[in-house]
Amino acid sequence: MKNKIILGDCLSILKTIENNTFDLVITSPPYFQQRDYGNGNLGIGNEKTEEEYLENLINIFRECVRVTNSDGVIVFNIGDKYINGALSLIPYKFAIRAIEDKKSFLVNQLTWSKLNPTPRQDQRKLIQSTEPFFIFAKSKDYYFDLNNYLKHLDHINKNIRNSPSDKLGKKYFELINTSDLSEEQKSNARKSLNEAILSVHKGEIESFRMKINGIHKLAYGGQDGGRNNQIKNNGFTVIKISGNKMKKDIIESPVEITRDNNHPAVYPIYIIQELIKLLSKEDYFILDPFCGSGTTCIAANNLKRNYLGIEINPEYVELANERIKKSSCNQEFFI
């Protein structure tokens, strides 16, 4: 079953697959009444009502959760749609229903910010230039490798980082002096502050924050229990901020226009490759139940992961197979 694309309806095919088969699912189902994929009335997206569409989508999502390993992740990218001039929020209605089953939970909503969105004719609305990628996990043990995500930007971030200002930490020294901490606590706080400043100068960390008892508020409730205890017991805490801690839930990429692909709704291979690096290791098994022109499969292949694609339209199965063959030969998509 590995490294191929199956022609057919994904719900029927998924039902024949055993539990816990895949390590990662990444997919983009057809959006509600958005495009004609030449499937006649077959396939998702052609339903008469939003309710019917959501019901069908959730049934497929449930199957995706079932066939994913307990430490696996399921990523769904769904775009929004205006209905009678009003934004429908369909992606969020889907996400809310998806987590209601309690068989998975939402780790992140990664927002794709489109660098070249389609201009809007309607001059009384802003251009819609974002789409969510919902990242669901089945358990807290989900695979997540922040070091590998957007790694190619690490050196750029380092190069453009300004050298630290002479005033770095000055404000905190003043606050320590005027605080109600004991003399011993003040001395420990100054020592930790000096160490943090040195780490920024050495480039070991990006920056830091300090919280001092009686001056800064404790985090609300149990959300930051460890730090709250440090502040209560030691009088202060230093929060070190490294590059990884600054990796945000937003990713920029143009909408792809490629000559070799006449599929009408391709998602950027750049985003899919970054998600694969974040959420899987080499040899992991990745499923795309709505594989279209095969972007997920190409990305998986480029990164030495195994894949299975499912697609209802025979022309797209052919297109996907051609693209995979081409990318295996010249690695033109590899980033």
Ligand X SMILES: C[S@@+](CC[C@H](N)C(=O)[O-])C[C@H]1O[C@@H](n2cnc3c(N)ncnc32)[C@H](O)[C@@H]1O
Binding site for ligand X (CB under 6 A): 9-10, 28-30, 37, 39, 43-44, 263, 265-267, 290, 292-293, 295, 310-313, 316
**For residues 243 and 309, which CB has a smaller minimum distance to ligand X in the complex?**
309
Residue 252 C-beta: closest distance to ligand X, Å: 18
Phi-psi region of 270 (alpha: psi -120 to 50; beta: other; left: phi over 0): alpha
Residue 29 C-beta: closest distance to ligand X, Å: 6
Query: Tokens standing for 249?
Result: 């839930």
**For residues 29 and 243, which CB has a smaller minimum distance to ligand X in the complex?**
29
Rounded to 10 deg, the angle between the 295-302 and 269-279 helix axes is 50
**Coil, helix or strand at residue 68:** strand
Residue 156 C-beta: closest distance to ligand X, Å: 27
Q: Which long-range contacts (CB under 8 A, 24 or more apart) does 16-19 make?
A: 17/67, 18/67, 19/66, 19/67
**For residues 30 and 235, which CB has a smaller minimum distance to ligand X in the complex?**
30
Residue 266 C-beta: closest distance to ligand X, Å: 4
Residue 316 C-beta: closest distance to ligand X, Å: 5
Measured over all CA atoms, what is the biggest interatomic distance in the chain, rounded to whole angstroms? 77
Q: Please report the sign of the dihedral spanned by the C-alpha atoms of residue 280, residue 309, residue 294, residue 30.
A: negative
213 neighbors 181 (Cβ within 8 angstroms): yes
**Coil, helix or strand at residue 126:** coil
CA distance to 61, 71, 194, 249, 291, per residue, from 58 (Å) = 5, 21, 53, 24, 17
Query: Tokens standing for 224?
Result: 């930051």
**For residues 44 and 275, which CB has a smaller minimum distance to ligand X in the complex?**
44
Nearest to 312 by CA among 80, 12, 3, 4: 12
Residue 63 C-beta: closest distance to ligand X, Å: 11
Q: How many helices (H) and strands (E) are present in the chain, helices listed first?
A: 10, 12
**For residues 64 and 95, which CB has a smaller minimum distance to ligand X in the complex?**
64
**For residues 74 and 176, which CB has a smaller minimum distance to ligand X in the complex?**
74
**For residues 11 and 205, which CB has a smaller minimum distance to ligand X in the complex?**
11
Residue 284 C-beta: closest distance to ligand X, Å: 19
Residue 39 C-beta: closest distance to ligand X, Å: 5
Nearest to 38 by CA among 322, 317, 324, 309: 317
**For residues 68 and 295, which CB has a smaller minimum distance to ligand X in the complex?**
295
Instruction: Go through the chain and tell me how many residues it has.
Output: 335
Residue 230 C-beta: closest distance to ligand X, Å: 46
**For residues 142 and 267, which CB has a smaller minimum distance to ligand X in the complex?**
267
327 neighbors 333 (Cβ within 8 angstroms): yes
Q: Nearest 5 degrees, angle CA 9-CA 274-CA 241?
A: 140
Query: Tokens standing for 22?
Result: 């895949």
Q: Strand 306-311 to strand 207-212: parallel, antiparallel, or no bridges (unpaired)?
A: unpaired
Query: Tokens standing for 20?
Result: 């816990």
